[in-house]
Structure 1
Amino acid sequence: MTELLTAAQMRAIEQAAIASGEVTGLELMERAGKGVVEAIFEEWPELKATSHRAVVLCGPGNNGGDGFVVARLLKDWGWEVEVFLHGDPERLPPDARVNYERWLGLGEVGDLTRVPDGFFRNRAIVVDALFGIGLAREVQEDLVRPLRDAWLDEDEPDGPRLVAIDIPSGVSSDTGGLLADIPPMHLTVTFHCPKLGHFLGLGPRICGKLRVVDLGISEILQRRDVMETGFLRRVRLNAPRPEFRKRPEEHKYAHGHALILSGPSGRGGAARLAARGALRIGAGVVTVGCPPDAIPENAARLDAVMLRGVADGLALEEALADRRINALCVGPGLGLDARGRELVEVALGMPVPGLTRDLTPGGGEGGKGGPGSGPGRGLVLDADALTILSQTPDLFSALHGDCVLTPHAGEFARLFPDIAEKLAAPATRGPAYSKVDATREAAMRAGCVVLYKGPDTVIADPTGRCAINSAHYDRAAPWLATAGSGDVLAGFITGLLARGFSPFDAAATSAWLHVECALSFGPGLIAEDLPEELPKVFRALGL
Structure 2
Amino acid sequence: MQNENGKFLKMTEILSSAQMRAIEAAQIESGDTTGLALMELAGQGVVDAICARWPAPAKAVVFCGPGNNGGDGYVIARKLAEMGWQVLVWAPVAPATPDAVANAQRWGVLGQVVKHLDPACLPGCVAVDALFGTGLTRPVAEKFWSALAQAQQAGAKLVAVDILSGICADSGQIRADGAYSVQAADLTVTFQEPKLGHMLLPGGAMTGALVVVDIGLKGRMAELRAGASAEQVTQTVSPPDLALLTKGAGHKYSYGHALVLSGGVGRGGAARLAARAALRVGAGLVTLCCPPAALIENAARLDAIMLRPVADEVALTNALTDPRITALCLGPGLGLGRRECALVAAALRSKRPIVLDADALSLIAQNSDLRALVHADCVLTPHAGEFARLWPDLGTSEHSKLKATCRAAQDIGAVVLFKGADTVIAGPDGFPEIHVALRDRAAPWLATAGTGDVLAGLITGLLARGIPPRSSACTGAWLHVEAARQFGAGLLAEDLPDQLPQVLRRLGA
Which position in structure 1 is the counterpart of 2:194?
Answer: 194
Taking structure 1 as reference, are residues 245 and 88 closer, same or farther at Cα in structure 2, changes over 3 Å only?
closer
**Which amino acid letter does the alignment assign opposite residue 513 of structure 1?**
L
Which position in structure 2 is the counterpart of 1:496?
Answer: 462
**Which amino acid letter does the alignment assign opposite residue 213 of structure 1?**
V
Give the deviation of 1:233 after TM superposition.
Answer: 2.3
Taking structure 1 as reference, are residues 314 and 39 closer, same or farther at Cα in structure 2, changes over 3 Å only?
same
Taking structure 1 as reference, are residues 442 and 131 closer, same or farther at Cα in structure 2, changes over 3 Å only?
same
**Which amino acid letter does the alignment assign opposite residue 85 of structure 1?**
A
- d(CA) in 1 for partners of 2:29 and 2:230? 19
- d(CA) in 2 for partners of 1:294 and 1:230? 49
> Which of residues 120, 123, 132 is equivalent to 2:122?
120
- Are positions 1:236 and 2:235 aligned together? yes
Taking structure 1 as reference, are residues 261 and 230 closer, same or farther at Cα in structure 2, changes over 3 Å only?
closer
Correspondence list, 1:65-104, <5 A: 65-89=71-95, 92-104=96-108
Correspondence list, 1:2-81, <5 A: 2-45=12-55, 47=56, 51-81=57-87
Question: What is the alpha-carbon root mean square deviation over aligned residues?
Answer: 1.3
> Which of residues 379, 401, 404 is equivalent to 1:438?
404
> Which of residues 156, 160, 166 is equivalent to 1:164?
160
1:157-202 C-alpha deviation (Å, 9 max, x unpaired): xxx2110100000011111111131222110000000001101011
Which position in structure 1 is the counterpart of 2:169?
Answer: 173
Give the deviation of 1:321 after TM superposition.
Answer: 0.7
1:114-167 C-alpha deviation (Å, 9 max, x unpaired): 2133431242x110000001213211111111111101011xxxxx21101000
**Which amino acid letter does the alignment assign opposite residue 221 of structure 2?**
L
How many residue pairs align between the two structures?
Answer: 494
> Which of residues 348, 352, 370 is equivalent to 1:395?
370
Which position in structure 2 is the counterpart of 1:147?
Answer: 148
Give the deviation of 1:247 after TM superposition.
Answer: 4.2
Correspondence list, 1:99-498, <5 A: 99-111=103-115, 114-123=116-125, 125-154=126-155, 160-180=156-176, 181=180, 182-223=182-223, 227-230=226-229, 233-242=232-241, 243-349=243-349, 373-374=350-351, 377-421=352-396, 424-425=397-398, 433-498=399-464
Secondary structure at the counterpart of residue 84 of structure 2: coil
Give the deviation of 1:74 after TM superposition.
Answer: 0.6
Taking structure 1 as reference, are residues 229 and 482 closer, same or farther at Cα in structure 2, changes over 3 Å only?
closer
- d(CA) in 2 for partners of 1:70 and 1:246? 48
Check conservation: 1:408, 1:452, Cα contact below 8 A.
yes
Secondary structure at the counterpart of residue 395 of structure 2: helix
Give the deviation of 1:245 after TM superposition.
Answer: 4.5
1:9-38 C-alpha deviation (Å, 9 max, x unpaired): 111111111122211111110000000000
1:403-443 C-alpha deviation (Å, 9 max, x unpaired): 0100000000000000112xx24xxxxxxx31110000000
Taking structure 1 as reference, are residues 525 and 343 closer, same or farther at Cα in structure 2, changes over 3 Å only?
same
- d(CA) in 2 for partners of 1:172 and 1:415? 26
Give the deviation of 1:244 after TM superposition.
Answer: 3.5
Check conservation: 2:65, 2:94, Cα contact below 8 A.
no
Secondary structure at the counterpart of residue 465 of structure 1: strand
Taking structure 1 as reference, are residues 496 and 230 closer, same or farther at Cα in structure 2, changes over 3 Å only?
closer
Check conservation: 1:236, 1:467, Cα contact below 8 A.
yes
- d(CA) in 2 for partners of 1:487 and 1:519? 17
1:476-512 C-alpha deviation (Å, 9 max, x unpaired): 0100111100000000000000001100000011000
Which position in structure 1 is the counterpart of 2:5?
Answer: none
**Which amino acid letter does the alignment assign opposite residue 371 of structure 2?**
F
Taking structure 1 as reference, are residues 274 and 251 closer, same or farther at Cα in structure 2, changes over 3 Å only?
same
Structure 2 unaligned regions, length at least 5:
1-10
- d(CA) in 2 for partners of 1:11 and 1:230? 17
Q: Percent identity?
A: 55
Secondary structure at the counterpart of residue 419 of structure 1: coil
- d(CA) in 1 for partners of 2:455 and 2:168? 29
- d(CA) in 1 for partners of 2:120 and 2:413? 56
- d(CA) in 2 for partners of 1:248 and 1:191? 42
Give the deviation of 1:232 after TM superposition.
Answer: 7.8
**Which amino acid letter does the alignment assign opposite residue 477 of structure 1?**
A
- d(CA) in 1 for partners of 2:239 and 2:226? 20
Secondary structure at the counterpart of residue 327 of structure 1: strand
**Which amino acid letter does the alignment assign opposite residue 63 of structure 1?**
N
- d(CA) in 1 for partners of 2:140 and 2:230? 26
**Which amino acid letter does the alignment assign opposite residue 6 of structure 1?**
S
- d(CA) in 1 for partners of 2:168 and 2:436? 17
Which deviates further from its counterpart, 197-206 or 240-249? 240-249
Secondary structure at the counterpart of residue 418 of structure 1: coil
Taking structure 1 as reference, are residues 453 and 107 closer, same or farther at Cα in structure 2, changes over 3 Å only?
same
1:282-316 C-alpha deviation (Å, 9 max, x unpaired): 00000000000100000000011000001111111
Secondary structure at the counterpart of residue 206 of structure 2: helix
Give the deviation of 1:110 after TM superposition.
Answer: 1.2
- d(CA) in 2 for partners of 1:500 and 1:443? 21
- d(CA) in 2 for partners of 1:272 and 1:394? 28
1:75-113 C-alpha deviation (Å, 9 max, x unpaired): 111111110113233xx11111110110111122111xx
Taking structure 1 as reference, are residues 15 and 226 closer, same or farther at Cα in structure 2, changes over 3 Å only?
farther
Taking structure 1 as reference, are residues 122 and 496 closer, same or farther at Cα in structure 2, changes over 3 Å only?
closer
- d(CA) in 2 for partners of 1:151 and 1:19? 40
Check conservation: 1:12, 1:226, Cα contact below 8 A.
no
Check conservation: 1:270, 1:487, Cα contact below 8 A.
yes
Check conservation: 1:9, 1:232, Cα contact below 8 A.
no
Taking structure 1 as reference, are residues 406 and 232 closer, same or farther at Cα in structure 2, changes over 3 Å only?
closer
- d(CA) in 2 for partners of 1:529 and 1:247? 23
Which deviates further from its counterpart, 102-111 or 404-413? 102-111
- d(CA) in 1 for partners of 2:226 and 2:22? 10
**Which amino acid letter does the alignment assign opposite residue 17 of structure 1?**
Q
**Which amino acid letter does the alignment assign opposite residue 240 of structure 2?**
R
Which deviates further from its counterpart, 326-335 or 213-222? 213-222
Check conservation: 2:231, 2:406, Cα contact below 8 A.
no
- d(CA) in 2 for partners of 1:147 and 1:248? 56
**Which amino acid letter does the alignment assign opposite residue 146 of structure 1?**
A
> Which of residues 497, 505, 508 is equivalent to 1:531?
497
Check conservation: 1:9, 1:231, Cα contact below 8 A.
no
